[in-house]
Amino acid sequence: MSVTANVMMDGSTVLSVRGEVDHSNATTLRQAIVSAATGRRPSSLRVDLGLVTFLDSAAVGALVAAQREAGAEGVRVVVWRASPFVYRQLRIAGVDELLGVAAEPDGDHIAF
C-alpha cells in the first residue's frame, strides 16, 4: 500500500491510496489520515480509494477510526472515488454513509 497527500487549490487535502489495505497496514492508513488531518488542518480531507485493489475488515475499521479522530479535530473525512470493490465492502460493512461514500461506485473503474 502507498499513500500520497496532495493539497488542492481550495485548501482541501486528497490522500490517494493505492494497493491492498489489510490487517498488516491498516494502522498505517489510519495514521496517515489522522496525520494529514491534524497536521494540515484542511477544511476537508478526501481519501481517494480508486486504486485500492483489496480492503479487509481491519482497513474498514481503520477508516472509521481515522474519520472519528479527524472529526474530533474539526476535519471532515470522506471516502472519494471508491472502486466498485471498495464501495461494495464499505456498503456491506454498513459504513458507506458514515464515510460519505457516493451512492454509486465510480463508473470510471472496472470491477475487480
pTM for this entry:
0.89
Q: What percent of the chain lies above the pLDDT cut of 90?
A: 83
Which amino acid appears at position 13 of this protein?
T
Higher pLDDT, residue 30 or 103: 30
Burial (CB count within 10 angstroms: exposed 0-12, middle 13-18, buried 19+), residue 39? exposed
- Per-residue pLDDT at 103: 67
Question: CA 86, CA 74: separation in Å to the nearest integer?
Answer: 26
**Residue 26: φ, ψ to 5°:** -60, -35
- Per-residue pLDDT at 105: 55
With cut-offs at 50, 70 and 90, classify the pLDDT of residue 112.
Answer: very low
Chain CA centroid to CA 112, Å: 18
pLDDT, tens digit (0-9, with 9 covering 90-100), for 65-105:
999 999 999 999 999 999 999 999 999 999 999 999 976 65
Domains of the chain, CATH where assigned: 2-93 (3.30.750.24)
Chain CA centroid to CA 14, Å: 9
- Per-residue pLDDT at 40: 85
- Per-residue pLDDT at 1: 96
The residues that bridge with 16 in the sheet, in sequence order, are 4, 48
Secondary structure E strands in 1-112: 2-7, 13-21, 44-55, 76-80
Question: CA 10, CA 73: separation in Å to the nearest integer?
Answer: 19
- Per-residue pLDDT at 36: 96
Q: Are 55 and 86 in contact (CB under 8 A)?
A: yes
